[in-house]
Structure 1
Amino acid sequence: MGVDKTAALCCPVCGAPTKRYGYELKERIWPHADCLFYPCYVHCKRPCVLCDKCGTVQVNAPFARKNSRFPLLFEGYAMLLLQDIPRARASRLLRCDEKSLAAILTYWVHDEVNRMDLSVVCSIAMDETFFRRGHKYVTVAIDAYKCQVFDVEPSRDKMAVKNVGEKLERNGGNTKRVNSATSDMSASYLSAVREVFPNAKQTIDKFHVKQVLLKALDAVCKDEQKEAGRKKELFLCRKLFMVPEGRMNNKQWTMVAELSKQYKKMGRAFRIVRSLDDFYASTSMVEAQERLDKLCSWMRRCRLKPMKDAVLTLRNHSKEILNYFHTRLTNAICEGINTMIQAAKRKATGFHTFEGYAAMIYLVAGKLKLATPVPF
């Protein structure tokens, strides 16, 4: 049954009341979800209206969004599947190509992201995550209190941080209200955060601080391996010194103690790395400052060049390192979310575009309440 000729319809452009002015020339067909394992389609010939302002305009179908090839219920069902299974498998179940599913996913995810309320964001964590080969990374910005991704930017430079600030302002937030921010030691991140979030206490993630000392320890091990008589033994045991103290069993502790006595330089460097854990166990800022000064003094006097180079990094970023005892922020949230992102990426066998990759990140870590119609 068609629309009555005298029925009042709204102009889809300006919303003014109009009357029907014929139908589109060809009947449109929308593929729907299968019914009892049989393909199902929706057939409709949409009416046109004659508007005094806009002229002849095509009316949108009430069961489908504008310019979409699928009904709303189909898109809602597709989003339910895409949250749990890879896109390739979902395309086989729904009998549609992956590009169409990617378009559905991107539309509904970004629709919710653009309406995200960021007015209460006051503490952020930023980290980079791998996108594709060729050193392609994206910057992920997280609300540290809600553990929620609120922005994904296609680079890891200063402009990415500025875009995060602009996104915060657009969605009701305030960059001056952000009182704490954590990131790695990237110079682009640190300088951009100072500029974009002027009132934020910057904290360098403690895991990245320890990584600086672990790299210096590894360099010491390599240098001593060249001088050692049993190079193979030292090569096989070198990674043992990288194991966190709390994760070592009794056998590993015994081996480390024996190697430390046998290889003096490596044992000295290992004790320096262990003292960093004591620094982060400090209970006050005064105690932390004293332990950091002692650690830096030890590293300068240890006669190990890699450790002397590492102490310059600690000194240059001592303020941001000590801010940890004010904010107690780490990038552990980012690392956990990064694990979720890479698992979803492997499950989907990669993403070819940044938009699709960003949509997937929002879907798995954005805690979104999608506006898609629920088919069940």
Structure 2
Amino acid sequence: MSCIDDISEFGFWEGFFVAHWERREEVLWIELSGHDDRHLVCDGCGCDCRSVHDTTRRVVRDLPILDAPVLLVVPRCRVACPNCGPKLERLPWLDRHARLTRRLVQSVVRLVSVLPVSQVAAFFALHWSTVKAIDKRHLEATLPPLSAEGLEVLAMDEFALHKGHRYATVVIDPRRKRVLWVGNGNSRTAVRPFFEALGAAGCRRIRAVAMDMNAAFALEVKEHCPYAEIVYDLFHVVSKYGREVIDRVRVDEANRLRDDKPARKVIKSARWLLLRNPENLPGEAAKIRLAELLEANQALMITYVLKDDLREIWRQPSRKMAIKAWNEWIRRALASAVKPLVRFAKRLLPYRDGIISHAKWQINTSILEGFNNKIKVIKRMAYGYRDSEYFFMKIKAAFPGVP
């Protein structure tokens, strides 16, 4: 008992000393008593008080001592405040009406930043909802508000929230690598709250926004950001080219060769060979196989060559050179006589300005692909989130950006 009395003198429970302690079924119960000369402060106005109105006893959880769970029996005083009337006494280690000490709350916050809520709850023997509520309150208090200060460019993308084509939209500052906003849905209505939160003055500061070929995003940016240029991302355009042109031509050519089983099998099994960039081919054998395939099939040769040439538009150092590369690519695509390629080129025409804008604004959504991978890890660690607001706050906390 003397050891516990000594511990109390180190300020673990400022203003109180240990009056009694005992172990009950592996739980350490510590009864505290207030020092007669302690400084009484009103929790409402913060003024000094001289008298106590009344006292109640409250059971409070604290951090374990030597691996033993700790329950404190704390006398909670209501002081006779001259300004507020009867009011709770302010304690530096225990919040108003709290059943957990600040030490325990801070430990929960530190641990839940790296572990799932369920594991932290099990570690501290707390209910899952208690740990979640602690973390959510901490995030609400510490996450910075949305600010347009120094913000000139944005990047927007969507990610899968749940199975069944349910999506959320994330908006980032690509230069500072921080998440600015996350919201449910990927429609115009869904992303509008971001621009409303940014404000009219903030929207006027935006000069460029990188995105995929999402018409809803583009229309909303044009409505709210009058000086912003749309910048379409290379990855999404080339990915669309792979699905709508290369895959379609490969299937058509395989069907044309249905009577030639060996040739058909070669083309049918060449999907990833054709979709890979030349520099990413796995070994010399793959390069030889690709060269033989393209030499034997003219339609695949045309679509493969134009896929690589399409990427060159994003590599131009000036707007003038980007326009030249665009015009040349469109001319060759329309003259190719490969129906899926011609169809894709015509569909791409309305996106011309956004593709060419990349020469001026060297931004893209590739950083968002990395963000999306980490978002998947956050979601997987928790086995999913039922509270979208909490999930979105966890995402923002994971990407605070660089100064």
TM-score by length of 1: 0.87
Distance in 2 (CA, whole Å) between partners of 1:68 and 1:163 is: 34
Which of these residues, 26, 42, 46, is aligned with residue 10 of structure 1?
Answer: 42
Distance in 1 (CA, whole Å) between partners of 2:54 and 2:266 is: 82
Identity %: 21
Distance in 1 (CA, whole Å) between partners of 2:53 and 2:71 is: 23
- Residue 235 of structure 1 deviates from its aligned partner by 2.1
Tell me the amino acid that sits aligned with residue 202 of structure 1: I
Q: How does 1:248-287 map to 2 (within 5 A)?
A: 248=281, 249-287=283-321
Tell me which moved more, 305-314 or 15-24: 15-24
SS at structure 2 position matched to 1:334: helix
Question: In the alignment, does 2:234 pair up with 1:206?
Answer: yes
Q: Which residue of 2 aligns with 1:224?
A: 253
SS at structure 2 position matched to 1:349: coil
Distance in 2 (CA, whole Å) between partners of 1:79 and 1:108 is: 7
Distance in 1 (CA, whole Å) between partners of 2:72 and 2:387 is: 31
Check the 8 A contact 1:105/1:359 in 2, yes or no: no
Distance in 2 (CA, whole Å) between partners of 1:118 and 1:40 is: 46
- Residue 267 of structure 1 deviates from its aligned partner by 2.1
Check the 8 A contact 2:185/2:191 in 1, yes or no: no
Tell me which moved more, 159-168 or 97-106: 159-168
Q: Which residue of 1 aligns with 2:243?
A: 215
Q: How does 1:125-144 map to 2 (within 5 A)?
A: 125-144=155-174
Q: Which has the higher contact order (CA 8 A, sep 6+)?
A: 1
Deviations 1:14-67 (A, max 9, x none): 667777563464x22232222211112333232235668866544564324455
Distance in 2 (CA, whole Å) between partners of 1:277 and 1:163 is: 34
- C-alpha spacing 1:64/1:358, structure 2 compared with 1 (3 Å): farther
Q: Which residue of 2 aligns with 1:84?
A: 114
Which of these residues, 11, 14, 30, is aligned with residue 60 of structure 2?
Answer: 30
Tell me the amino acid that sits aligned with residue 349 of structure 1: Y
Distance in 2 (CA, whole Å) between partners of 1:64 and 1:6 is: 15
- Structure ID, larger Rg: 2
- Residue 68 of structure 1 deviates from its aligned partner by 4.5
Q: Which residue of 2 aligns with 1:175?
A: 203
- Residue 293 of structure 1 deviates from its aligned partner by 1.0
Tell me which moved more, 77-86 or 54-63: 54-63
Check the 8 A contact 1:8/1:18 in 2, yes or no: yes
Deviations 1:174-194 (A, max 9, x none): 221122211111111101111
Tell me the amino acid that sits aligned with residue 82 of structure 1: V
SS at structure 2 position matched to 1:303: coil
Q: Which residue of 2 aligns with 1:311?
A: 345
- Residue 115 of structure 1 deviates from its aligned partner by 4.3
Q: Which residue of 1 aligns with 2:372?
A: 338
- Residue 90 of structure 1 deviates from its aligned partner by 1.9
SS at structure 1 position matched to 2:269: helix
- C-alpha spacing 1:221/1:368, structure 2 compared with 1 (3 Å): same
Q: Which residue of 1 aligns with 2:8?
A: none
Distance in 2 (CA, whole Å) between partners of 1:32 and 1:348 is: 26
Q: Which residue of 1 aligns with 2:271?
A: 238
Gapped runs of 5+ residues in structure 1? 370-376
Question: In the alignment, does 2:183 pair up with 1:153?
Answer: yes
Q: How does 1:59-138 map to 2 (within 5 A)?
A: 59=89, 61-66=91-96, 68-115=98-145, 118-138=148-168
- C-alpha spacing 1:125/1:363, structure 2 compared with 1 (3 Å): same
Distance in 1 (CA, whole Å) between partners of 2:158 and 2:365 is: 11
- Residue 126 of structure 1 deviates from its aligned partner by 1.2
Tell me the amino acid that sits aligned with residue 270 of structure 2: C
- Residue 199 of structure 1 deviates from its aligned partner by 1.6
Distance in 2 (CA, whole Å) between partners of 1:337 and 1:18 is: 52
Q: Which residue of 2 aligns with 1:372?
A: none
Check the 8 A contact 1:138/1:154 in 2, yes or no: yes
Gapped runs of 5+ residues in structure 2? 1-32
Distance in 2 (CA, whole Å) between partners of 1:218 and 1:106 is: 46
- Residue 114 of structure 1 deviates from its aligned partner by 4.3
